Amino acid sequence: MRPFITRNRMLLCIFFFALAIRVYIALAAQEPRDPGDMETYNTLALEGGFGVCQAPFYPLLLRLVYYLFGVENLTSVFGIQGVLSSLVVPLMYFVAAK
């Protein structure tokens, strides 16, 4: 039986390509001019007090990133989001393969 890496070499290449694109964009991105919901989630992450409409996981993730990398460090937020979103690529591959 072949090892996992040789069996799924193309999947790993696609995953690392997706990761590289997302991390590059995270490092190159600037704060948006129209923050939209970003200000609401920043307030929830910094002050707490979840409302009925907001899902609690994202503000908790923001709070963790702010704790580790500094308050409102958007580059680290975009980087963590890029890494987490690139994990969708192999998951979708395995779902489609089944």
58 CB-contact burial (10 Å; exposed 0-12 / middle 13-18 / buried 19+): middle
33 φ, ψ (degrees, to nearest 5): -70, -35
User: Based on the number of CB atoms within 10 Å of its own CB, is 90 exposed (0-12), middle (13-18) or buried (19 or more)?
Assistant: middle
pTM (predicted TM-score): 0.70
What pLDDT digit, counting tens, does each position of 7-17 carry? 678 888 889 99
What pLDDT, in 10s, does the model give residues 21-71? 998 988 887 776 666 777 777 777 777 766 656 667 888 888 899 899 988
pLDDT in the model for residue 49: 67
Q: What is the DSSP letter of 37?
A: T
